[in-house]
Amino acid sequence: MSKFVSIRNIRFMIKEVFDSKSLTEYDYYSKHTEKMFDMVIDEALTLAVKLMYPVLEEMDKNQPVLENGQVKVHKSVKKIMKEFGQGGWIASGFSEAHGGDQIPLIIRGTISFIFAASNYSAAAYPELTAGAAELITSFGSKELIDTYVPKMLDGKWQGTMALTEPQAGSSLSDITTTAYPDKNGRFKIKGVKTFISAGDHDGVGNIIHLMLARIENAPSGAKGISLFVVPKKRTDENGNLIFNDITTTSIYHKLGYRGAPATELSMGEKDDCLGWLVGEENKGLSQMFQMMNETRILVGLGSCAIASAAYLAALEYTEQRPQGRPVTQKDPKSRQIPIIEHADVKRMLLFQKSVVEGSLSLVLQCSMYADLIKVSRKDEKEKYELLLDLLTPVAKAFPSEYGISSISNAIQCFGGYGYCDDFPVEQYFRDIRIHAIHEGTTGIQGMDLLGRKIVMKNGRAGLLFIEEVNKTLKTALEIGGLEFFAHKLQNAINQLEKVAGFLINIVGKKGIDVYLSDATLFLEFYGLIVISWQWLIQGIAAKKALSQDCSKKDKNFYKGKVFTMDYFFRYELPKILGLAARLMDNDNLTVNMKTAYFKD
C-alpha cells in the first residue's frame, strides 16, 4: 500500500472486476499483454512516489506567480513535463500512428488515477496536454498535427483547453472571442479567456491553447462556435518561435489545486494573435464535447484519486492514534485503543472506502466502455456509446460531490490534527473542491443526465443500463450469499423506474422547467444506484475469490470488499428513499420561489 493508492485494489479492479486483459484480444490492443499492463502500472507508481508525491505540499505552499507577464511555477513542473514526455506517459493512450502506445483507457485511466492521487496539480499539466493533443489528432489537419502534436506528446509544449470567458462559464454558447479570417487561411483572434488551467507557465517552451471562438459573422449560439489552435508563441517564416500576442492578465488565488495556475488570457491586444482552425467551421462545440466527455471522466477519476489519498492517510492515522476505550470498558487505567477500533471511526473509514473504490469502479467501467467502442462493431459499439454517454455525468459528478464528504470524513478521523497542515488531508479537502465546478458544474451534469441522456433515443440508454444491471443481478444470484444485495439493487431499480416514469409524465403536465428543476437530486439518486451496482460487481468478484483457496492476507482483502459493499448497500443506498420521496413530490417549489422572497 502506498501512501495514496492501494495497488492491491487496483489489481483487483483491472484483473478481477474488469477483465482488462481481454482487450488484448482485439487487434487494436493486441501489442499489449497483461504483464505489460502490470509493468506500466508499477512504473507509474514509482514515478508518482519519486517525482510527484514528494512535492505535493511544496507545490501547494508555493503557488504560481505572475511576474512581468510570465507565470512562474514550481521548478518540479519542468522536470515532470520532461519525464512524462520522454517516458511516453503523455503519449501512452495515442495511436501508434501518432507516436503513442495504443494503451487501453482502462489502463491509462488507472495510471492517471495513480498520478492524480500522488499530486493532483502536478498530474494536471501532462493530462491537459494529452487532452489538447488528442483534440488536434482527432480533428486537425496533418499540418497542425505535425506542427504541434509531437512536441506536446514529448512534454516540450503544454496544451490547454480554453473555453471559459468572464461572461460565459456554464453558458458556453455565449462566448464572444472572435476569429477574423485573414487571406492565408488563418484567423486573427480577439478576446478574453479565463480560468484557463496551465494557461501560462515557465516549465515548458510553449503553450498551445485549444480555443473556442466565434468566426466573424458566425451564427449566434452554439451553432456558431469553432475550434482553434492558438499558440502562445507561433513559428515565423524562418522557423523561429515568436510572440503570438497572448497576454496573461491575471492569475487566480485558489482554495486548492494550487500547484497549477488558473489564468486569465487576453488575445490580440496588439491585433497580432493568430489562430488555426481545427476541423470544420462552426463545429467547435461538438468537437470540444467529444473531448469534454473524456475529460469529465478524468475529473471523476481525479476526485476518487484525491479522496483515495485522503482515505489512506486517515486509515494510517486511525491505526496509530490511541484515544479512548471500548464503550464497555469502564476502567480509566486500561490502555487506550487505536481509534480505528471505535465503531464510528470504522463507519467513517467504510464511507470513504466505499466512495473511493465505488467511484473508481464506475470510472473504470466507463473507461472499459470507451475501449470497447474503439474495437466493437456497429450494434455493440452503439450500445457502449449509449452506456458511456449515460454514465458520464454520473462518473463526473458522483465522485466530485461524495468525494468532498469523503475527505471531510478523513479530516474528522484526524480530529484537530486534520485541520492543520501537519497532515495532507486539509489540502486534499481544498484540492477536491474544484471538481464539482470545472468541466461542467454538478448542476450542469444533472441537466445533462435528466434533460438529455435519459431521454435520448427514446430512453434507450436507460434501458441498456437496466439490462447491464440485470446481467449483474443474474450473476449475483448464481453465487451464494449475495441474494440480499441483489434484492436491494432490484428494489432500487424498481424505484428508479417509478421515479423516471413520474418525471417523464411531468414534462407533458407541467413543462420542461419543472421536469428539470430537481435534476441535481435525480443525479444523486441515479448515482447511488449506479455505485451500488458497481459495488455488487465488486462483491461478485470478491465472493468468487473467497470461494477459492487464498492467502490469509487476500482473504482479509476480499472480506473488506464484502464489508464495504455491505456498508454501501446499508448506509448509502437507503438515501434513495428520501430522494425518491422528494423527486415524486408535486410542488414545483423551486420554480415558484421568487427572487423577491429571498430579500430582506
Using CB under 8 A as the binding rule, the residues of this chain from 87 to 146 that contact a copy of itself are: none
Q: Which is nearer to a copy of itself, 50 or 570 (CB)?
A: 570
> Quick check: 259 and 59 in contact, CB under 8 A?
yes
Q: SS3 letters for 473-514?
A: HHHHHHCCCCHHHHHHHHHHHHHHHHHHHHHHHHHHHHCHHH
Q: Is 488 in the site for a copy of itself (CB under 8 A)?
A: no
Please give the full DSSP string across 316-348, using - where no structure is assigned: HHHHH-B----TT---TTSPPPBGGGSHHHHHH
Stretch near a copy of itself under the rule CB under 8 A, chosen from 38-46, 103-111, 139-147, 218-226: 218-226
- Residue 168 is placed in which grid cell? 460565459
Q: Which of 286, 306, 302, 296 is nearest to 441 (CA)?
A: 296
Q: Which is nearer to a copy of itself, 378 or 598 (CB)?
A: 598
Q: Is 594 in the site for a copy of itself (CB under 8 A)?
A: yes
- The one among 31, 42, 326, 483 contacting a copy of itself by CB under 8 A: 326
Q: What x/- string results for residues 184 through 213 when contact with a copy of itself is judged by CB under 8 A?
A: ----------xx------------------
Q: Is 325 in the site for a copy of itself (CB under 8 A)?
A: yes
Closest distance to a copy of itself from the beta carbon of 208 (Å):
22
Pairing between β-strand 233-235 and β-strand 241-243 as defined by DSSP bridges = antiparallel
Spell out the residues 6+ positions from residue 282 whose beta carbon is closer than 8 angstroms to its own: 215, 218, 219, 223, 224, 225, 226
| DSSP reduced 3-state for 376 | coil
Burial class (CB in 10 A: 0-12, 13-18, 19+), 11: middle
Q: Is 174 in the site for a copy of itself (CB under 8 A)?
A: yes
Using CB under 8 A as the binding rule, the residues of this chain from 345 to 364 that contact a copy of itself are: 345-347, 349-350, 353
User: How many chain residues touch a copy of itself (CB under 8 A)?
Assistant: 116
| Cα Rg of the chain (Å, integer) | 25
Q: Is 280 in the site for a copy of itself (CB under 8 A)?
A: no
- The one among 416, 458, 508, 549 contacting a copy of itself by CB under 8 A: 416
Exposure pattern of 454-485 as b/e (b: 16+ CB <10 Å)? Answer: bbeeeeebbebbeebbeebbeebeeeeebeeb
Q: Is 255 in the site for a copy of itself (CB under 8 A)?
A: yes
* 596 alpha-carbon distance from chain centroid: 37
Closest distance to a copy of itself from the beta carbon of 172 (Å):
10
Q: Which is nearer to a copy of itself, 103 or 486 (CB)?
A: 486
Q: Which is nearer to a copy of itself, 128 or 436 (CB)?
A: 436
Residue 43, beta-bridge partner list: none
- The one among 185, 239, 332, 480 contacting a copy of itself by CB under 8 A: 332
Cα–Cα distance, 364 to 372 (Å, whole number): 12
Q: Which is nearer to a copy of itself, 242 or 550 (CB)?
A: 550
> Quick check: 123 and 298 in contact, CB under 8 A?
no
Q: Is 589 in the site for a copy of itself (CB under 8 A)?
A: yes
Cα–Cα distance, 126 to 203 (Å, whole number): 11
Phi, psi of 110 (to 5 degrees): -60, -40
Stretch near a copy of itself under the rule CB under 8 A, chosen from 65-73, 279-287, 440-448, 499-507: 440-448
Closest distance to a copy of itself from the beta carbon of 315 (Å):
6
Cα–Cα distance, 345 to 571 (Å, whole number): 14
- The one among 35, 69, 549, 596 contacting a copy of itself by CB under 8 A: 596
Q: Which of 164, 165, 158 is nearest to 132 (CA)?
A: 158
Q: Is 501 in the site for a copy of itself (CB under 8 A)?
A: no
Using CB under 8 A as the binding rule, the residues of this chain from 451 to 470 that contact a copy of itself are: 451
Q: Which is nearer to a copy of itself, 242 or 255 (CB)?
A: 255
Closest distance to a copy of itself from the beta carbon of 170 (Å):
6
Q: Is 510 in the site for a copy of itself (CB under 8 A)?
A: no
Q: What x/- string results for residues 7 through 26 when contact with a copy of itself is judged by CB under 8 A?
A: xxx-----------------
Residue 113's H or E segment, with its range, is helix 105-118
- The one among 169, 259, 268, 527 contacting a copy of itself by CB under 8 A: 169
- Residue 138 is placed in which grid cell? 482527432
Cα–Cα distance, 126 to 518 (Å, whole number): 36
Q: Which is nearer to a copy of itself, 32 or 214 (CB)?
A: 214
Q: Which is nearer to a copy of itself, 152 or 449 (CB)?
A: 449
Q: Is 577 in the site for a copy of itself (CB under 8 A)?
A: yes
- Residue 592 is placed in which grid cell? 415558484
- The one among 184, 328, 458, 548 contacting a copy of itself by CB under 8 A: 328
- The one among 47, 73, 519, 530 contacting a copy of itself by CB under 8 A: 519
